[in-house]
A = this chain, B = another copy of it.
């Protein structure tokens, strides 16, 4: 059985992330979505919220497990038996950072391979940070994130 990991801070999960989860399932048997607790900056949503948002998006899919993690990706891979790390690539800047990480991870754990995929084209410009920025100024995030997240963003930033 091939187990993959898709790790990130998911603050919050976007349709871009959800698209990548779905695509990954075409070549892994099980996918662990790992929500990092140790993000450098103060996250907008708690790790519990971030996990809940992802679960709501994939609850029809028994092959996906959503969990938090705090540590090195390669250690998590050993713990859950994963041999693939799945990453989305949108831009050259992504590419270089992701390559450095993938090379370092290969150095730390030769048994985990990193594979890269492209999100759906019309989601290439969607990132969690842009979504937060738009929500902050009460722009419409309805077609960037799922309804649960959309609602949570509105509540968080409503000026009333």
Binding site for B on A (CB under 8 A): 2, 23, 26-28, 71-72, 74-75, 83-84, 89-93, 95-97, 99-104, 106-108, 113-118, 121-122, 124-127, 130, 134, 137, 139-140
Given the contacts A100-B91, A108-B139, A121 and B118 also touching, CB distance less than 8 Å = no
Q: Which of B92, B130, B139 is close to A74, meaning CB atoms less than 8 Å apart? A: B139
Residue of B nearest to A130 (CB): B104
A95 to B130, CA, bound (A): 16
Min CB gap A111→B, angstroms: 9
In the complex, are the beta carbons of A113 and B72 less than 8 A apart? no
In the complex, are the beta carbons of A130 and B100 less than 8 A apart? yes
Q: Which residues of B contact A140 (CB under 8 A)?
A: 108
Can you offer 22 A-B residue contacts whose CB atoms are under 8 A? Answer: A2-B27, A23-B113, A27-B84, A71-B137, A89-B95, A90-B100, A91-B100, A100-B127, A102-B118, A103-B118, A103-B121, A103-B124, A103-B125, A104-B126, A104-B134, A106-B121, A108-B139, A114-B117, A114-B118, A115-B116, A116-B117, A121-B121
Residue among A71, A84, A125 facing the most chain B CB atoms (10 A cut-off): A125
Given the contacts A108-B134, A121-B122, A121-B124, A89 and B103 also touching, CB distance less than 8 Å = no
Min CB gap A150→B, angstroms: 15
Residue of B nearest to A86 (CB): B115
A75 to B136, CA, bound (A): 13
Known pairs A103-B124, A121-B122, A122-B122; list 15 more (Cβ under 8 Å): A2-B27, A26-B83, A26-B113, A27-B27, A27-B28, A27-B83, A27-B115, A71-B137, A89-B99, A92-B95, A99-B125, A101-B130, A108-B139, A108-B140, A114-B118
